[in-house]
Amino acid sequence: MANASRALFLLVLCIGLSGCQDSGPPPALTAPPEFQVETGTDPHSFAEYEKVRITHLRLDLDADLAARTLTGYAVLELERPEPGFQRLVLDTRDLDIRDINAIQPDGQYLPVSWRFGADQGHLGRPLVIALPAGIEQVRIDYATSPDAFGLQWLDAQQTSSGKPFMFSQSQPHYARTWVPLQDTPAVRYTFDATVRVPSDLMAVMGADGNAFERNETGEYQFTMPQPIPSYLMAIAIGDLEFAEAGPRTGVYAEPDWVERAAAEFGVLEQMLEIGENLYGPYRWGRYDLLVMPPSFPFGGMENPRLSYITPTIIAGDGSLLALVAHELAHSWSGNLVTNAAWRDLWLNEGFTVYFEARIMEALYGAEIRNQLAKLSWDALQDTLATIEQGDRQLVRDLSGQDPEQAFTLVPYVMGGFFMDWLEHRVGREAFDQFLRDYFDHFAFQSLDSEEFRAYLEQQLVAEHPEKLDMAEIDEWLYQPGLPDSAVAIEPKSDAFERVDAARLAWQSGEKRPDALPTETWSVHQWRHFLSGLEGAVDAQGMATLDSAFELSQQQNYEILFLWLMRSIETRYEPGIERLEPFLIEVGRNKFTRPLYAALAETDWGRDWAIEIYQRARPGYHPLTRQASEAALGIDANSGVP
Ligand SMILES: [Zn+2]
């Protein structure tokens, strides 16, 4: 699995040398003299998990919402494939380590020496702990930083409940900013946790044991009996209420949102059953959603048993539920079978995009699935046209890069089309059987693209040699862009062709907007209509459309976003008036980044956009800040152009 081309980050530890950044208490055991720590098999982690490996985590944390910290301890239970290996290297970033003890088999604590390695930027600092023979548990007392990249703390003014809120985002490599651990998807472990919060708030985790009601003590207990990778560690604290959706499903949200959310997501139980019918049992017990504040930087995050969801998909008519299908599908692709490193992200996301489409097809029919596929195809073409050649392939060498770079449409959408193509070649029945077997075979394991490739060759190509060959498959995996063979699966949508015809009829003056057949249009047809207006409408045309369809008053965020993009391009004032409140309320990167980038390109909007950003910034997640600053071309630290 090791990738020969991976650059190694060599790091000389300061044990025995001068210039240590931090050091622990006087050692009771001597750490090995000078040695090196490199990122391991996973270039985004310092974990040496082939030698010593976390099998279980016990967390005990107190949350201080005013100080914006979690304080407590983590006990790591270890497996030692190399019993003589005398150190444990953990990933940490901005953690305040207070004490480290080995727990001896008789339960006695034994202080051990430890050191931080040098700061490696987004990778954080390796924490190197001396590991005496026979020790299988280590306790680390620590606190998080108020600036922990993986935690967002919102104060009372930034939430709809008027009470503070905190949530984690651990993917891809931010778990290390709130728990010291082996922060690589290659390592899976079970955990249990005790979390104490103020008694007017509730703590929830991506785990079993979420309470349906707040309790008086403010103490909450969780367990995760299935082994998970660290990027799925999730915690949130807020004024939360629960509403049931089905026997195994429900919604957590702030009081203002909970009824609306439960109504919108009433289809959750049905989605779960569709997933099980397709690819085998749901193995995680309950499946609930946590509705996030609008500043949540993503659409959703597939935290096991409790996926996090942006409120921007609550449209009132269930029209944006593909995202919920996506997060649920991750209960199989990703959470059950996981990419071993971020170069293999497509194994998580490509499978999930395909699975999501199958759920949508089962729920709403092939036509809606097709419309969604066409939107994705078009967006992928745009992405492929703008990104670097080396970023256009499914399996991507990310050594030396921030794993955030992996999150483009390529692993998602191109990965999904690769699955479509496999289905197209061997037929749905054979492909479904293959996927069911795949999920069973690799359940609760992490694998890389080459392991998948070998399995595919043995299980599917060997069965259908006349329909598939490895050279074509390798083109999908290792060559940039869509291969020529993809032409067979290009989505075609009659519904979109009718939209194109309507747009033309209006733009040629043949029909007035109110004479267009829009009553039957789906949200996706509207998206196609508005996307097709890019560079093909002026402010006058915008005004005509607005008076016919009240698009500036739109409540559906996907439609509104496209309307705002067109408003910026045409400098259409009624649309532009909605921009500032939108950007201050919403922190979802899918919307904020392109809006800021579009404003930055205008001669009238850039300074104004920077002013809006400065006002919005306190409510944004660190990831949204980072992306917005890049879009605006402003300095990350000062926020100054
Ligand atoms: Zn996903």
DSSP, collapsed to helix, strand or coil, labels residue 514 as helix
- Read off the pLDDT of residues 463-516 as tens digits, 9 standing for 90 and up: 999 999 999 999 999 999 999 999 999 999 999 999 999 999 999 999 999 999
Q: What angle do CA 80, 221, 146 make, to 5 degrees?
A: 80
Average pLDDT over residues 239-244: 98
Beta bridge partners of 235: 205
* DSSP state letter for 432: H
d(CA 566, CA 288) in angstroms, rounded, equals 36
Residue 175 Cα to ligand 1 midpoint, Å, equals 17
CB proximity list for 229: less than 8 A, separation 6 or greater: 184, 185, 186, 187, 188, 338, 446
- Predicted confidence at residue 168, as pLDDT, reads 97
Average pLDDT over residues 187-196: 98
d(CA 529, CA 517) in angstroms, rounded, equals 12
Are β-strands 235-238 and 202-205 bridged in parallel, bridged antiparallel, or unpaired?
A: antiparallel
- Read off the pLDDT of residues 549-598 as tens digits, 9 standing for 90 and up: 999 999 999 999 999 999 999 999 999 999 999 999 999 999 999 999 99
**pLDDT higher than threshold 90 for residue 16:** no
**pLDDT higher than threshold 50 for residue 336:** yes
Residue 495 Cα to ligand 1 midpoint, Å, equals 27
Are β-strands 53-64 and 188-196 bridged in parallel, bridged antiparallel, or unpaired?
A: parallel
Query: Please, are residues 165 and 238 in contact by the beta-carbon 8 Å criterion?
Result: yes
- Predicted confidence at residue 635, as pLDDT, reads 79
Beta bridge partners of 287: 249
- Residue 84's φ and ψ, nearest 5 degrees, are -80, -5
HEC-encoded secondary structure of 562-598: HHHHHHHHHCCHHHHHHHHHHHHHCCCHHHHHHHHHH
- Predicted confidence at residue 2, as pLDDT, reads 36
* DSSP state letter for 6: P
Instruction: Single out the catalytic residue among 412, 572, 596, 620.
Output: 412
Residue 524 Cα to ligand 1 midpoint, Å, equals 20
Residue 326 Cα to ligand 1 midpoint, Å, equals 6
Read off the pLDDT band of 625 (50, 70, 90).
very high
Average pLDDT over residues 391-420: 96
Helices within 187-341 (DSSP H only): 255-264, 268-279, 322-329
Residue 170 Cα to ligand 1 midpoint, Å, equals 13
- Read off the pLDDT of residues 280-327 as tens digits, 9 standing for 90 and up: 999 999 999 999 999 899 999 999 999 999 999 999 999 999 999 999
Residue 435 Cα to ligand 1 midpoint, Å, equals 17
Query: Please, are residues 237 and 196 in contact by the beta-carbon 8 Å criterion?
Result: no
Residue 358 Cα to ligand 1 midpoint, Å, equals 15
d(CA 616, CA 305) in angstroms, rounded, equals 31
Read off the tokens for 529.
Answer: 């209509």
Report which secondary-structure segment, H or E, holds 413: none
Residue 315 Cα to ligand 1 midpoint, Å, equals 21
Read off the pLDDT band of 7 (50, 70, 90).
very low
Known catalytic residue at 327: yes
- Residue 83's φ and ψ, nearest 5 degrees, are -60, -25
Q: Identify the CA nearest to 52 among candidates 77, 31, 29.
A: 77
Read off the pLDDT band of 636 (50, 70, 90).
low
- Say whether the peptide bond before residue 172 is cis (omega within 30 degrees of 0): yes
d(CA 47, CA 79) in angstroms, rounded, equals 13
Instruction: Give the residue with greater pLDDT, 33 vs 400.
Output: 400
Instruction: Give the residue with greater pLDDT, 28 vs 368.
Output: 368
- Read off the pLDDT of residues 522-541 as tens digits, 9 standing for 90 and up: 999 999 999 999 999 999 99
Read off the pLDDT band of 637 (50, 70, 90).
low
The identity of residue 66, as a single letter, is: A
Instruction: Single out the catalytic residue among 327, 356, 361, 558.
Output: 327
Residue 550 Cα to ligand 1 midpoint, Å, equals 33
Query: Please, are residues 128 and 17 in contact by the beta-carbon 8 Å criterion?
Result: no
Outline where DSSP puts E strands in 369-488: 445-447
The identity of residue 281, as a single letter, is: P
Known catalytic residue at 412: yes
- Predicted confidence at residue 157, as pLDDT, reads 87
**pLDDT higher than threshold 50 for residue 397:** yes
**Helical axes 606-616 vs 622-632, angle rounded to 10°:** 170
Residue 182 Cα to ligand 1 midpoint, Å, equals 22
**Helical axes 322-329 vs 268-279, angle rounded to 10°:** 50
- Read off the pLDDT of residues 438-473 as tens digits, 9 standing for 90 and up: 999 999 999 999 999 999 999 999 999 999 999 999
pTM (two decimals): 0.92
Query: Please, are residues 377 and 314 in contact by the beta-carbon 8 Å criterion?
Result: no
Report which secondary-structure segment, H or E, holds 421: helix 415-426
DSSP, collapsed to helix, strand or coil, labels residue 264 as helix
